[in-house]
Amino acid sequence: MERQNKVGTRDPLTVALVSACLAFTRLAWADTEREFCPRPPPGSEVPEPQDLRSQNGVLQVDLTVRNERAPDGTTRYCYVLPDGSQSPTLRLHPNDLLILRLKNALQDAAPPTAGSRANSDPSAGPPPAATSGVYNLMHHHAPAPAHSDPCTSGAMTSTSTNLHFHGLLVPPVCHQDEVLRTSIQPDEAPFEYRFRIPSNQPPGLYWYHPHIHGFSSAQVGGGASGALVIEGLERANPAVVGLPERVLVIRDQSLSNPDAPPSKSEPVVPPQLVFDSDGDAGNNNTGFGKPAKDLSINFVPVPYPDYPPASIKVKPGERQLWRVLNASSVTYLHLTLLFDHVPQQLGVVAIDGVPINVSGRNARTIAPADHVGVPPGGRVEFIVTGPPAGVSGLLMTRSVDTGRNGENDPNRALAAVSAAEDAVEPASRLSSSTKALPVSMPWLGNVEPARVRKLYFSEQPTDPGNPRSPTAFFLTVDGQPPVPFDPTSTVPNITVRQGDVEDWIIENRSAELHAFHVHQIHFLLLDWFGIPVTEPFLRDTVNVPYFDPRMQSYPSVRLRMDFRDPNTVGTFVYHCHLLEHEDGGMMGTIRVAPAAVSSRAVK
Ligand SMILES: [Cu+2]
C-alpha cells in the first residue's frame, strides 16, 4: 500500500539503490562550483535576515527555492532572492497585497523519507523530459506529469515544492494558502502567490515553508523557511512602542558530528541505544547526550557536541523585542536567557503571531517568564533587556522531555548575548503608532461551541509482529479507523460549517510528545493535561503531552476551534508539526462548508 512506503524504503534492495544513487549524486554535484545556500561558520555573529517591506500596500517578492549537497553530505535547502540573500523576512500590514513568485530550482537530492507518491491520475502521461542525465538515473519517485497545472497537480516528489503561510487567515485556495493539491515542479515557470493580508490578521510573527506531503521534513529540515511579520504589534500593546526588534529563526538540521562522543563538560549519562526509525537519537531524559538534530540560529550552526554559541551584541541595558520562530523539523525549544548563569525575566507579548492581550483585557499586558517552550512551528515574541556592561549572557534551550519514544532534545547553548557600546542596532524598530487595532469578533472564550469532537495521536510498528519495525503515525478522528494520511482521498476526515465554533479534544495515545497544528485558524487552549487554563490569547500549534503506561487515562488538550471567519471556507489540513510524523501520515483534512449549506451536510 502507498501509505506503507515507509516500510518499502527500508527493504535491503531499496536501501542499496538509494545508497548507490546518493553516491552518484555526490559525484554529479561535485561539479557544481557555485554555492547556492552558503551558511555562516559556527560562532558567527547572528545575521539579520533581509527585511522586505510592502510599498504602497504591495509587497512583490521573487524567490527561488534551491538545494545543494553540503560538504558534510547533508542536503541544504534555501529560499534565495535575486541578490543571493536567503530567507528574507516578509513585512506586511493588514490589508496589504503579497505577490510572491516562487521559482522551483530544486535538484533531485534527498533520499525519500516517507509517503512519497505522485499524482494518482493514471492519465497523467509520461514523465517530463529529463533535464539532465542525472535526473533520469536518480528519479525514484513517479515524477510529476509534464506541464501539469500546479493548482491541481498534487505531485509529491522530492523536487516538488509549494508554500504554506503558517498562521495566516487567508483562504485555502490555489495561489493563496493551499497545500493539498498545489505543487510546483522544477521545469515550470515561477508560480505566483497573490493574496491580501486580512484586515483582522493579528500583528506578530508568522512564517512560510514548503508543505509537500512526504518531503516536508527534508525541505524544512534542510533550511527552507523564512519569517513573515504582520506589523502593528505596538498598536496591540503600547509596551513595545518604538523598540528595536530582532527576528531569530531557529532551525534544525542533520548532525554535523553524529559520531562524536558528548562533550567532556557534560555529566556522563548512559549511552544512547535508542534511535527512531529516522535514525534520530532517542530521548534519554537526562538533559544531556546526543541530540536528534543540530540547531542553527539565523543559519549560524550550533553543532553537537560542544555547541559553540553564535553571538548577539546588544547595547548595555537596551530593551529589544525578540521575535523567535521555531522552524525546526522535529526539535522542541525551551528558551531561557541567562546572565551570569541567572535566568532573566523575558517579557512575553505574543505567542504564535497573536498578542497575548488579544482577548481585550489588559492593554499593556506583558507576561513575565524566565523560560518559555516553543514547539516546532510555534513562535514567541518577548521583550529582552540587554545585559549590563561586563555581564555575559547566554540564550539557550533547556531540555524537553519528549517521552519514551521521543527524540532527544538536550540542554544546549544557542547564542552568547554580550553588552557592547558599539553594537549595531537592529535594522527594524517598531513604530510609535498607538492607533487602536480594529475590534475583532467576540472573544472566542465567550462563544458556545456548536459541538465537541475527539481526535487522537497514535503510533504503531508497521509490522505488528516486530516492535522494532518502523513506526506508522496516525492522527485519527475518534470513531474512524486509524490510517495514515492519504493524499489521494477526496473525502475530508471532518466537515464543519463556517460560522461555527467547536471544541476539539486532542488525545495522545503514543509514548511521545506531539505538536498539534491546524492551517488557516488559531484556537484557544482550554484544558492542558486535564487542567483548565485561562489563556487570554490564541495559538496555532500546541504540544499534546505523551502517554505513559502508568497513567490511568490518555493525556489530552481541549481546544476551542474558530471557524467563524469566511476565509476558512474550503479544505485544509491539521497535523503534527514534527515533520517526520506529518510525512509519515500524522495528518488529516477538514472541509469548512459555506455557512449557507444546510446542517445536514455537517457530520
Ligand atoms: Cu508528532
Mean local confidence (pLDDT), 327-337: 97
Angle formed at CA 206 by CA 402 and CA 560, multiple of 5 degrees: 65
Residue 321: CB partners within 8 Å, gap ≥ 6?
233, 240, 243, 244, 245, 246, 349, 381, 382, 383, 384, 430
Percent composition of the chain: helix, strand, coil (DSSP 3-state, to 5): 10, 35, 55
- Cα 194 to chain centroid distance, Å, stands at 22
pLDDT of 21 strictly over 50:
no
What pLDDT does 72 receive? 80
Residues 158-209 pLDDT 10s:
999 999 999 999 999 999 999 999 999 998 999 999 999 999 999 999 999 9
DSSP assignment of 34-99: S-SS--PPTT-B-PPPPEEE-BTTEEEEEEEEEEEE-TTS-EEEEEE-TTS-BSPEEEE-TTPEEE
pLDDT of 106 strictly over 80:
yes
What pLDDT does 327 receive? 98
What pLDDT does 349 receive? 96
- Centroid of ligand 1 to alpha carbon of 513 (angstroms): 6
What pLDDT does 264 receive? 84
In this structure, the number of other CB atoms found within 10 A of the CB of residue 480 comes to: 12
Q: Match 505567542 to its residue by C-alpha cell.
A: 351
- Cα 546 to chain centroid distance, Å, stands at 20
- Centroid of ligand 1 to alpha carbon of 402 (angstroms): 10
- Centroid of ligand 1 to alpha carbon of 380 (angstroms): 20
- Centroid of ligand 1 to alpha carbon of 10 (angstroms): 21
- Centroid of ligand 1 to alpha carbon of 577 (angstroms): 6
Q: Show the domains of the chain with their CATH numbers.
A: 238-259+272-429 (2.60.40.420), 444-601 (2.60.40.420)
- Centroid of ligand 1 to alpha carbon of 508 (angstroms): 10
The string over 1-26, giving b where at least 16 C-beta atoms fall within 10 Å of a residue's C-beta and e elsewhere, is eebbbbbbbeeeebeeeeeebbeebe
- Centroid of ligand 1 to alpha carbon of 288 (angstroms): 22
pLDDT of 125 strictly over 50:
no
- Centroid of ligand 1 to alpha carbon of 215 (angstroms): 15
The model's confidence at residue 287, banded by pLDDT at 50, 70 and 90, is confident
- Centroid of ligand 1 to alpha carbon of 333 (angstroms): 15
| Residue from 426, 372, 358, 382 nearest 240 by CA | 382
Answer whether 421's CB lies under 8 Å from 445's CB.
no
- Centroid of ligand 1 to alpha carbon of 493 (angstroms): 18
Q: CA separation (Å) from 219 to 66, 160, 178?
A: 10, 10, 17
Residues 376-407 pLDDT 10s:
999 999 999 999 999 999 999 999 999 988 99
- Centroid of ligand 1 to alpha carbon of 318 (angstroms): 38
Residues, beta carbon < 5 Å, ion ligand 1: 514, 576, 578, 581
- Cα 37 to chain centroid distance, Å, stands at 19
What pLDDT does 73 receive? 83
Left if phi > 0, otherwise alpha if psi is -120 to 50, otherwise beta: which for 271? beta
- Centroid of ligand 1 to alpha carbon of 250 (angstroms): 19
As a residue count, the chain comes to 603
What pLDDT does 115 receive? 36
- Centroid of ligand 1 to alpha carbon of 582 (angstroms): 7
pLDDT of 122 strictly over 60:
no
| Residue from 272, 278, 270, 370 nearest 331 by CA | 278
The model's confidence at residue 283, banded by pLDDT at 50, 70 and 90, is confident
More confident: 467 or 424: 424
pLDDT of 288 strictly over 50:
yes
- Centroid of ligand 1 to alpha carbon of 367 (angstroms): 28
What pLDDT does 242 receive? 96
pLDDT of 24 strictly over 90:
no
pLDDT of 127 strictly over 60:
no
Mean local confidence (pLDDT), 125-147: 36
- Centroid of ligand 1 to alpha carbon of 586 (angstroms): 7
- Centroid of ligand 1 to alpha carbon of 1 (angstroms): 22
The model's confidence at residue 33, banded by pLDDT at 50, 70 and 90, is low
